[in-house]
C-alpha cells in the first residue's frame, strides 16, 4: 500500500473550513453525478453512491461543528493522507509484469 500526504499543517478556522469543505463537497458532487449517470443509463440511481452522499453529508456537518468550535485565536492542525493499493483483476500477464506485481504459477 502506498500512502501520500495530501494535507499537513496548521490552519485558521476559516482556512480549515475552505480546505476541508471543498474536498467534502467535491466528493458529494462526484457521487451525486455517479448516481445520476446510473439513473440515466439504467433507470435507477446507484445505491452505493446515494449511501455515500448521505455519509459524506453527515461527515460534513461534523466537520463544520468542529471548525466552529475553534475560536478566532485558535488554529486547527489537519493531517490527511491518501492510501492506495492496486487490486489486479483478470489482467493479462504482460500488464501484471509492467506493474511489478509478483505472480505465481499454479500447477
pLDDT value at residue 96 = 59
Residue 107: what pLDDT?
A: 37
> Does 106 have pLDDT greater than 70?
no
**Looking at residue 71, what is its pLDDT?**
80
Q: Is the pLDDT of residue 90 over 90?
A: no
pLDDT per residue as tens digits for the range 64-86: 999 999 887 899 999 999 998 88
Specify which residues 11 forms β-bridges with: 76
Examine the pLDDT at 103 and tell me if it is beyond 60: no
pLDDT tens-digit readout, 3-33: 999 999 999 999 999 999 999 999 999 999 9
Q: Tell me, rounded to whole angstroms, the distance of Cα 94 from its chain centroid.
A: 30
State the average pLDDT over residues 38-64. 97
Single pTM value for the model: 0.75
Amino acid at each position: 500500500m502506498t500512502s501520500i500526504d495530501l494535507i499537513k499543517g496548521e490552519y485558521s478556522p476559516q482556512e480549515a473550513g475552505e480546505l476541508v469543505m471543498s474536498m467534502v463537497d467535491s466528493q458529494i458532487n462526484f457521487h451525486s453525478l455517479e448516481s445520476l449517470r446510473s439513473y440515466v443509463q439504467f433507470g435507477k440511481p446507484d445505491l452505493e453512491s446515494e449511501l455515500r452522499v448521505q455519509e459524506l453529508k453527515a461527515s460534513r456537518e461534523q466537520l463544520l461543528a468542529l471548525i466552529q468550535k475553534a475560536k478566532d485565536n485558535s488554529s486547527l492542525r489537519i493531517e490527511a493522507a491518501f492510501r492506495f493499493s492496486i487490486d489486479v483483476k483478470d489482467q493479462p500477464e504482460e500488464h501484471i509484469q509492467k506493474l511489478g506485481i509478483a505472480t505465481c504459477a499454479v500447477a
